[in-house]
Amino acid sequence: MDTILVANTGSSSVKFQLFAVESDGALNRQVRGQVDGIGTYPRLRATGADRTVLVDRAFQAPEVADVDSALAAAGSWLREELLIRPIAIGHRVVHGGPDYERPVRIDEVVLQRLERYIPLAPLHQPFNLAPIRSVLARFPEIPQVACFDTAFHRGHSALADRYAIPEALYAEGVRRYGFHGLSYEYIANALPFIAPEIALRRLIVAHLGSGASMCAIEGGHSVESTMGFTALDGLPMGTRPGQIDPGVVLYLAAEKGMSPAEVQNFLYRDCGLKGLSGISNDMRELQDSSDPRAQLAVDYFVYRVGLSAGMLAAAMAGVDGFIFTAGIGENSPKLRAAIAERLAWLGVSLDSSANAEGGPLISRPDGRIPVYVVPTDEELMIARHTFALLAPGP
């Protein structure tokens, strides 16, 4: 059985999924797994297609002290116990910069180019690239494909793509990229089957999780995003501030004496819901808390989603549908209801029972704007891209 392995690597976890390639080209998920607690309480867990537990194994911290050793642990289990030899590995890579607007097969040259964008996505890019370099060193014969979170947005118009800065900086790659593109691309591909009546119309998709953004999609294509040059922009997130006056960054440097590295660490790790609440970066914990600071953080998040919806509607000169996705968007009826209340002026009106049940359609029949909950599947999108890139032509 031919299989494609999909890797999504972070700073403290390695997530992976395995897809079987059927004779008709269909991709069927066989394994979901991850190694988390890297360097502290490492644990390898995986389930099969029917959700049965395939492995649940703890390690001593020195055994899995870093991402490379976590990759080795997961790879060893796949090879030696499941006897898996994937025909290719697809990777989520957050930033493709100006060079890459579609998935690409990886070699040393491509890898070196992608390493240039580490400063633009310091929480993600180095960890996305770690497994690629590890596989290149250990198993150079296995094809690897990079799938970019920026690629779906690369068709933006010049008006949406640019900042009001000199042309020379734009030529260097300082532009509005947008992120979570694999998620938005999956939603755009799924909607013709879930909601064909709006699939090609003017849509706002809200990818709401620890990392959060929103996207205007028209005719199945991205036309505007709340995120820009880096994954700091737009909505407030778990630990990132979202939209912020650049003068604040200048203030931190000039008045607080913070170095560039300290400012970067502050903006990526100490702001957002965590900074506002002083309690947690987890929306679930904040919603369950009676602390007024937690309520402020939740309300602020809802407020900014509402503002961004107005911006995205303006970019398309109207809106014909609204879609919630990702961890918070898929799993928090309470937050969806609060956001819908903010969007009543657009014609959004939720059916409380349908919202509590999770949809997919959660709006009232008499609402002007249909609202859906659509679970995203970035891993399947990566597997599809990987197979399409490596499959022989006709």
Could you count the other beta carbons within 10 Å of the beta carbon of residue 172? 10
Contacts 24+ apart (CB under 8 A), 359-367: 360/194, 360/195, 361/195, 362/324, 362/336
Q: Is 149 an annotated catalytic residue? A: yes
pLDDT of residue 122: 85
**Regions of the chain where pLDDT drops below 70:** 11, 391-394
- Looking at residue 193, its pLDDT comes to 96
**Matching residue, tokens 């909607």:** 191
Kindly report the pTM of this predicted structure.
Answer: 0.93
User: In this predicted structure, what is the pLDDT of residue 214?
Assistant: 98
Residue 72 confidence (pLDDT)? 87
pLDDT at 325: 97
What stretch of H or E contains 223? strand 221-225
What is the pLDDT, as a whole number, of residue 150? 95
pLDDT of residue 37: 86
Which of the following is catalytic: 68, 149, 245, 288? 149
What does the pLDDT read at residue 19?
96
8 A C-beta contact, residue 154 and residue 118: no
Distance CA 372, CA 238 (A): 24
Q: What is the pLDDT of residue 392?
A: 60
Residue the block writes with tokens 């734009």: 170
Q: Measure the CA angle with vertex 101, ends 129 and 249; round to 5°.
A: 65
- Concatenate the DSSP letters of all residues of 37-71 into one string: STTTS-EEEEEETT--EEEEEE--GGGG-SHHHHH
Q: How far apart are CA 72 and CA 75, in angstroms?
A: 5
For residue 112, what are the CA distances in angstroms to 14, 106, 274? 22, 10, 34
pLDDT recorded at residue 9: 85
pLDDT of residue 134: 87
